[in-house]
Amino acid sequence: MSSSYIGSKWRKTLPLLGEAETKRWVPETAKLTKQRLRVMLRKYDTVYVKPEFGTFGVGVMRTARLADGSWELRFGTARRVYESFDRMYGALSRMKKGKSYLVQRGIPLLKHNGRSFDIRVMVQKNLQKKWEATGVIGRVAAKGKVVTNYHSGGTPMPLETLLKPYLSRDGIKGQIGSLKRKGVKIAKVLQRRFPGIREIGVDVGMDSRFDPWVLEVNTRPDPYIFRKLPDKSVVRKVLRYARSYGRIKAKGSVKRK
């Protein structure tokens, strides 16, 4: 596997937790154990459980304690309710099939027409070998899904469209600028630990106070999602940079995440 690809979500999270500035942007995240899940469900309304290794949102689950004391577990479009934490954890354990998982504080995301959305920030080495945030796009979850990934039925949309009900034009512009600056900072932090990286896709959740939360960082992000933007200059730049550092050898020969 290329040195530019880091599969472990935990290995990519640790450098961000080790830097004071970026640590503030990461929801509490830990390796999954039964006790850790119990503790985090006492602290937060909802938590996500995700495979340490994996793509496209496959295997991601969400759990919460309900008002009547029962425990909810959601995966894909399915929802199950259990009378005790032990029963819920037993079901979760069977579904993860012995694989390493992480547990992460659930962020109540902004919504578009009742569906949660998050944000993908593309950051790449430009032609001068400097980090540059080249694209920002929103991803709206499919109905009933707990993840927003395009490959899991999510809908890519311009972030300006998604934020329009919430913010003024200047407010949206400011948020996008801030997201791009944070993306570049994250790339620089990760590069110190992983010198081979040339591109990252930062998945950001935004809460009702418009605070950005880094949910995950991908080191083989899908460049073609930016084709869904009306402004075609964005995808042209993304692909131009991707070719310059060898990610795309020929048209279409790119692995996506």
The mean of the pLDDT values for the chain is: 91
Distance of CA 4 to the CA centre of its chain: 18
Give residues with Cβ within 8 angstroms of 59, minimum separation 6. Answer: 50, 51, 95, 96, 99, 101
Task: Tell me the helices (H) and strands (E) count for the chain, helix number first.
Answer: 7, 12
Asked if pLDDT for residue 192 goes beyond 60, the answer is yes
Find the mean pLDDT for residues 32-42: 97
Per-residue pLDDT reduced to its tens digit, 194-222:
999 999 999 999 999 999 999 999 999 99
**Percent of the chain residues topping a pLDDT of 90:** 82
Check residue 198 and give its pLDDT: 97
> Residue 142: its pLDDT value, please?
79
Is the pLDDT at 251 greater than 80? The verdict is: no
pTM: 0.91
* pLDDT score recorded for residue 148: 52
Residue 183: band (very low, low, confident or very high) from pLDDT cuts 50, 70, 90 = very high
Please compute the mean of the pLDDT values over residues 190-197 and round it to a whole number: 96
Q: Name the nearest CA neighbour of 121 among 245, 226, 6, 246.
A: 226
pLDDT in tens, 54-88: 776 678 999 999 999 999 999 888 899 999 999 99
Say if residue 97's pLDDT is above 50. yes
Q: What is the pLDDT of residue 80?
A: 95
| DSSP sequence for 4-23 | T----HHHHHHHHHTSHHHH
H-state helical runs in 204-257: 232-244
Domains of the chain, each with CATH number or no CATH: 29-105 (no CATH), 109-244 (3.30.470.20)
What type of residue sits at position 76?
A: G
The answer to whether 74 and 146 are in contact (CB under 8 A) is: yes
* Confidence band of 167 (pLDDT split at 50, 70, 90): very high
